[in-house]
Amino acid sequence: MGRLEGKVAYITGGARGMGAELARTFAAEGADIVISDICENIDTVRYDLGTKDELEAVAEEVRSLGRRCVAEVADVRSQKQLDAVTAKALQDFGKIDIVCANAGIHGVAKFTTMTEQQWDDLLGVNLTGIWKTAKSTAPSMIERQSGCFIITASVSAREPLPEYAHYTTAKHGVIGLARSLGVELGPDNVRVNTILPGPIDTYLNDNPVNRDWAAGFKGATTEDMHAAIRNWHNLRGRGALPAKAVANAALYLASDEAEHVHGAELVVDAGHLLLPGFNHSPVQPEGYPRRPNEGYNPYAD
Ligand code: NAD
């Protein structure tokens, strides 16, 4: 018997990356799945977002595991679209046991030159989108006196980075929001926990603009990105971590094994937050020729 047998899990940002991995992992453990995604680009985001084809492919993977899947296009900035997904999920599956508020975008800009639109889009998706997702799904959990939220924050909820004011503010806010939801929902037996990932191996990191930003030079490869990220980690030899690392942590929080875990802030970062700053001598794979960081910043172009 799977660890989530008979449960229904709803995951935002499910077309790819961590959202898709959550869907696969939860389905393999017996859950029926609802996934939603914006499936179009946002002008202020410098890399492509998930697509309808990717969302459908994840739904097919879930179905091939023998589980049911509802896959809907919805922007977490729209309460109306989110409410429509919740209504469809409740109509098709009768309940929602687990909500993973995962959808998010990334960007880098000095706060002095950041546009209002960049700020509004990032806060709108990464922070307000979580409030709207919870607002839409919590009432049915309160009614059933059962449920659980797993909210994706980041190590950016604990520390600042330069040119990261909107992302850092949003992720710090996610912790405050999750704690607020937690105190309100605990008496209704609805658990709220957050996950704080370090750099994860998804397209959010492994895209041309972000590879250059991570490595600090133009034309950086995927391996250059991993090499740069090894400077972040304390555990031996880790580049960007697999999405499965986060999905496994979420699986525990979603399962009955965590029935008394409420208000946890689970860090999945290969020890990054243990480090006082920068790991100057990360373990690189044998013979990897590390090109020095040249201070190149694609966001300044
Ligand atoms: P990703 O870009 O691979 O996937 C994110 C998905 O969210 C995409 O499919 C995208 O289309 C969707 N999305 C974006 N805006 C949306 C919106 N307005 N409405 C609905 N869907 C939307 O990124 P990922 O790495 O899987 O990121 C997932 C979450 O993890 C995000 O909240 C991100 O901030 C957080 N996070 C990522 C990392 C990392 O290093 N990748 C680290 C810490 C936290």
Name all residues whose Cβ lies below 6 A of ligand 1: 12-13, 15-19, 37-38, 49-50, 75-77, 102-105, 125-126, 129, 152, 154, 197, 199-200, 202-205
* Residue 279: predicted pLDDT: 67
Sequence-ordered list of residues with C-beta below 8 angstroms from that of 108, at least 6 positions apart, any chain = 163, 164, 167, 213, 299
Distance from C-alpha of 34 to C-alpha of 290, rounded to nearest angstrom: 42
Distance from residue 185's CA to the centre of ligand 1 (Å): 25
Distance from C-alpha of 245 to C-alpha of 118, rounded to nearest angstrom: 30
* Residue 280: predicted pLDDT: 67
Distance from C-alpha of 171 to C-alpha of 204, rounded to nearest angstrom: 16
Catalytic residue numbers, as ranges: 167
- pLDDT tens figures, 216-262: 999 999 999 999 999 899 999 999 999 999 999 999 999 999 999 99
Domains of the chain: 8-206+242-272 (3.40.50.720)
* Residue 301: predicted pLDDT: 77
The conformation of residue 65, written as its DSSP 8-state character, comes to T
Instruction: Specify the amino acid at residue 135.
Output: K
Instruction: Name the residue at shortest CA distance from atom 12 of ligand 1.
Output: 13
Q: At what angle do helices 17-28 and 243-254 cross, to 10 degrees?
A: 50
- pLDDT tens figures, 122-163: 999 999 999 999 999 999 999 999 999 999 999 999 999 989
